[in-house]
Amino acid sequence: MGRMKGHSIVKAGLIEDTLNRRFHFNPCVAVHELRMRMRDGRPFSVLFFYALLAILSVLITLAVVTFSYSGFYDPMTSEVGLGRITFTALAYAQMILMLFVLPAYGAGAITMEHEKRTIEMLRATLLSPSDVVTGKSLVVLAFGALLLVTSVPVAAWSMMLGGISPTDVLLTYSYLFVIATWASAIGMFMSNLFTKSITAIVASYVVLGFWCAGIPAAVSIVGMTFSQSSSTSAAGFVSFAFLVLVVGIVSGWLLFLIHRRIWSAIFKRAGRNLATLVSALAAVLLVWLIFRGLMSPLLGIADLNRPESMLLLIPYGGLGLIIYPSGAEAMFQSSSAALTADQIQLCAWAFSAGIFLLMALLLWLRSIALYESRSRTRT
């Protein structure tokens, strides 16, 4: 027993050494956070309710579908398997639950240090801003993964009901994990922006609510206004423009960060203004090249000038297109070669998950930068 424990300590220590040396990442914040958050099986009550709600939503769907003799589902004639319907209910229930749980979980990460008055001592250590922010983010993500894993048995049961393939399940789960990353990144960002947990949590919910409900509403209002004056699909164009905007802002920020790290290091202080100018020009050039080089083949695959393309930007829209790829058919079928349903599904997954991952990456980098700037000047 003692020897076993000794072995695991050595193993953990070697992992720590490797992370420190190879990746310049000090994992102690993650370990510390895990010790606190996972103590005494505290998260298991959350896990339990999560699983309970997920199962309940599946059962309710099942009951509604099979026992109501309404016309909208007849198991004898429908092409959609019962498994797919229950799985859809499961996936959506999980997405909603995660969008509630994870931002709150992430939003407390740094504000908690302020509230407990531990932030000063944390900042006095040799931990880098990235060690702190990344370490804490990883634990929130691990919790998200744990939530997803608890629902796997329910998903397996759906598969047994038929109508759903392992690929569907895999794509859905990976997509849900990407959404979890995005949601917790929003929480983490707010946690660095504010000093009170409650403010950070409310701000995260407001942003998420705006993203999930406000954007579709705004786009459809604009779309309706346009479609009266012209016959082309204006809503599609608007959503496409929006997508370009998102990608543009994200890549612009990434370039700005690269500029801050690399250019200003080269030019030091003397040529800072010059460096800013040069890198701004370089950024413009690069964004243009990326759009020419990277986006045009993508645009060849997808006709983002359609109303459905907006769905790719919204968590539940993307999820719908992954589970029911037929919805995205028109969007991806306009390209030269006809795509199979599987390929369409993969395209929808790649586009939507890519956008959310990009946003999560941006938020993560911004969180680190925020933490850094706060620790050098204020409070």
Binding site for other proteins (CB under 8 A): 9, 12-13, 16-17, 20, 26, 28-29, 31-32, 35-36, 39-40, 116-118, 120-127, 375-377
Half-sphere exposure of 235 (CA within 13 A, CB side): 18
Distances (CA, A) of 297 to 4, 326, 331: 54, 22, 15
Rounded to whole angstroms, the Cα distance separating 261 from 268 reads 11
Comparison of 226 and 267: residue with beta carbon closer to other proteins: 267
What's the min distance (Å) between Cβ of 204 and other proteins?
22
Provide CB contacts within 8 A for 150, sequence distance 6+.
47, 50, 51, 54
Q: How big is the chain, counted in residues?
A: 379
The residue among 147, 177, 141, 180 whose CA lies nearest residue 47 is: 147
Rounded to whole angstroms, the Cα distance separating 374 from 353 reads 31
What's the min distance (Å) between Cβ of 116 and other proteins?
4
What's the min distance (Å) between Cβ of 39 and other proteins?
5
Provide CB contacts within 8 A for 53, sequence distance 6+.
93, 97
Rounded to whole angstroms, the Cα distance separating 325 from 307 reads 15
What's the min distance (Å) between Cβ of 40 and other proteins?
8
Comparison of 269 and 292: residue with beta carbon closer to other proteins: 269
Rounded to whole angstroms, the Cα distance separating 66 from 32 reads 48
Comparison of 108 and 315: residue with beta carbon closer to other proteins: 108
Comparison of 30 and 65: residue with beta carbon closer to other proteins: 30
For residue 130, the tally of other CB atoms under 10 A from its CB is 19
What's the min distance (Å) between Cβ of 185 and other proteins?
23
What's the min distance (Å) between Cβ of 42 and other proteins?
8
Comparison of 8 and 326: residue with beta carbon closer to other proteins: 8
What's the min distance (Å) between Cβ of 284 and other proteins?
33
Comparison of 329 and 372: residue with beta carbon closer to other proteins: 372
Comparison of 28 and 62: residue with beta carbon closer to other proteins: 28
